[in-house]
Structure 1
Amino acid sequence: MSDLNNHLFAQMERLTSEDLSEEQIAKEVQRANAMVSVADRITGNADLQLKAAKLYAEYGEPVLKHLPQIGGPSK
């Protein structure tokens, strides 16, 4: 998450650069939109992992029996 944060702040700095032409700004805006889309997916995934960890912390092993297996080797 810290890498994501660093990338987003670097993009903000590029967007506020006064040395960019209108064409360069348009390209940076497109790049920023793509980064936001990916960042939303990353933070959504992190939120899902946190929710799963909270369920496990609250209910332990029994909760795992009721959840579909995600990732890991299939049997």
Structure 2
Amino acid sequence: MKNKLSDLNNHLFAQLERLAQEDLTADQVEHEAKRAEAIVSVADQITRNAELQLKAAKLFADHGQQILPMLPQIGGRSE
């Protein structure tokens, strides 16, 4: 996997910097605001997915192998 949550953090801060540029026209601000909304929407999905993976890992840590049949396939595990 080439993208990491730290990359997402970098993208979010880069967008924040673009929005903070004081020399933007009203049209450019509107464009960047729409772009930011799209980025935030995707970022929300990514963080929800990461949260779900973390919950699955916690279940495995708490309950061991017997929980595996109840978890979705992750990390290339085959049934």
**CA shift for structure 1 position 74:** 6.8
From 17, 23, 33, the equivalent of 1:19 is 23
Separation in 1, partners of 2:65, 2:6: 31
For this pair of structures, how many residues does the alignment match? 74
1:6-44 deviations in whole A, cap 9, x for unaligned? 000010010010010000000000000000000000000
**CA shift for structure 1 position 64:** 1.0
Separation in 2, partners of 1:2, 1:51: 19
- Structure 1 residue aligned with 2:34: 30
Gaps of 5+ in 2: none
- Structure 2 residue aligned with 1:52: 56
Which consecutive aligned stretches of 4+ in structure 1 deviate over 4 angstroms post-superposition? Answer: 71-75
Matching of residue 70 in structure 1 with residue 73 in structure 2: yes
Task: Report the TM-score, using the length of structure 2 for normalisation.
Answer: 0.85
Give the aligned CA root-mean-square deviation in angstroms. 1.7
